[in-house]
Amino acid sequence: MKKKLVSVLMCAAMTATVLAGCGSSSTTTTTDTSSADTSAADTSASNAAETTAATEAAADASADASASGDVLTIGFAQVGHESDWRTASTNSCQTVFTAENGYDLQFVDCDNDSAVQIEAVRGFIEQDVDYIIIDPIVSTGWDTVLTECEDAGIPVIVIDRTIDDSDKYVSWVGSNFKTEGLAAGEWLKAYAELKGIEDINVLVIEGSTGASATIGRTDGFKEIADREGWTILDSQNGDFTQAGGQEVMESYCKSYEGQFNVVICQNDNEAFGAMDAMKNAGVSYGVDGDVILVSFDACTAGLEYVLSGDINADFECNPLAAPFVEEVIQTLEAGGTPEKEVYMSEHWFVNEDILSSITVDGEEQELTVVDQAVVDAQY
């Protein structure tokens, strides 16, 4: 029997307001392009403000839950611990789903193993948890176990990466990975034009194979590369880790010596590894180097390298999903129907103040020049 919170009706109204601000059910990312004169620090802080609004709304509801003595058990099957982004994502859930807030969080680190992740979900079914959160390592192979969740009457909320072969979950909260890839491509096009760079020869270090983050970023960037006639010399799996990024880049430096002028790393940790490999191979990168270095995630350490000029541009993926997931849960507890898709806002970060915006999918999107305040405001 699922425990129902009876004191969250007011929160449900707040939920609707906050989720509406997140561009739910849109297929377009809600990158914040609202104000041309917004300062960089203000822009960087807007994720925090958005998250704070969601957190406050959900906190009111969970305070009511705690007061009434009800505890909701949440099973969370996390991808692993491969990156700074993943740590921020785990911290987000562990900060929101606390005993103090009226939750019992059952957390499983699946160490990037899909079989372990499926078994973790089955374990949550056996425990008869109230809700299951899944960040799917890969986007396929989910229908059987999601049917088992459905049969057990346990609602599933998907975060971050998408599930592409089943719709048996109540909501998904995350980012538009293809838009991130398109943005990286549009930025590179505009940047190269400004710098007078005509030949673009790209090496891509991909994220884990089968992850929707990898598929979306690869497709988005490739769409622009194909349109512009750039050469993608190679595209290999760095598994979203620093060691993986370094290993792939070491091999690229040998195989493509003197042939590349752009490296696209599909997350910050891969970029850190790629920087080490290029340094060791005597290849210069960043704003003063021979190679333009682009990254995704824009966690604090990534932005520090944007500030120093080692990474030219970093395309954010927002890891702070938990407050929005809590809103989904509280909506369900109140008997409401949450949005099927909740997109969180993201920003694009650059070192040089030479371009104020790019156009992505027909929409003008602001670029944030990184300063220390921007770094300090990030997770």
Q: Which is nearer to ligand AHR, 12 or 132 (CB)?
A: 132
Residue from 70, 297, 310, 346 touching ligand AHR (CB under 6 A): that is: 297
Q: Which is nearer to ligand AHR, 38 or 87 (CB)?
A: 87
Number of neighbours of residue 150 by Cβ within 10 angstroms: 14
DSSP label of 285: B
Q: Are 361 and 131 in contact (CB under 8 A)?
A: no
SS3 state of residue 23: coil
Q: Which string of DSSP letters, residue by residue, matches 160-182?
A: SS--SS---SSEEEE--HHHHHH
Q: Which is nearer to ligand AHR, 314 or 333 (CB)?
A: 314
Least Cβ distance, residue 319 to ligand AHR (angstroms): 8
Which is it for strands 341-343 and 171-174: parallel, antiparallel or unpaired?
A: parallel
Output the CA torsion 265→218→166→27 (10° steps): 100
- Does 240 sit near ligand AHR (CB under 6 A)? yes
Of residues 209, 193, 32, 20, the one with CA closest to residue 112: 209
Q: Which is nearer to ligand AHR, 43 or 267 (CB)?
A: 267
Q: Are 18 and 348 in contact (CB under 8 A)?
A: no
Q: Tokens representing 168?
A: 């048996």
Binding mask 109-128 for ligand AHR (x = CB under 6 A): --------------------
Q: Name which of residues 67 to 86 contact ligand AHR (CB under 6 A).
A: 82-83, 85-86
What residues contact 239, with CB distance under 8 A and at least 6 apart?
Answer: 82, 112, 207, 208
Of residues 60, 118, 55, 56, the one with CA closest to residue 92: 55
Binding mask 134-173 for ligand AHR (x = CB under 6 A): --------------------------xx------------
Q: Which is nearer to ligand AHR, 177 or 191 (CB)?
A: 177
- Does 315 sit near ligand AHR (CB under 6 A)? no
Helix (H) or strand (E) holding 255: helix 242-255
Least Cβ distance, residue 138 to ligand AHR (angstroms): 11
Q: Which is nearer to ligand AHR, 271 or 283 (CB)?
A: 271
Residue from 221, 296, 305, 343 touching ligand AHR (CB under 6 A): that is: 296
Size of the site for ligand AHR (CB under 6 A): 12
Q: Which is nearer to ligand AHR, 265 or 332 (CB)?
A: 265
Of residues 169, 214, 170, the one with CA closest to residue 317: 214
Q: What does the alpha-carbon distance between residue 159 and residue 96 come to, in Å, rounded to a whole number?
A: 14
Least Cβ distance, residue 186 to ligand AHR (angstroms): 19
In the chain, the amino acid numbered 173 is V
Least Cβ distance, residue 215 to ligand AHR (angstroms): 11
Q: What does the alpha-carbon distance between residue 120 and residue 114 come to, in Å, rounded to a whole number?
A: 10
- Does 267 sit near ligand AHR (CB under 6 A)? yes
Q: Name which of residues 186 to 215 contact ligand AHR (CB under 6 A).
A: 213
Least Cβ distance, residue 321 to ligand AHR (angstroms): 10
Q: Which is nearer to ligand AHR, 138 or 200 (CB)?
A: 138
Q: Are 168 and 143 in contact (CB under 8 A)?
A: yes
Instruction: By CB under 6 A, name the binding residues for ligand AHR.
Output: 82-83, 85-86, 160-161, 213, 240, 267, 296-297, 317
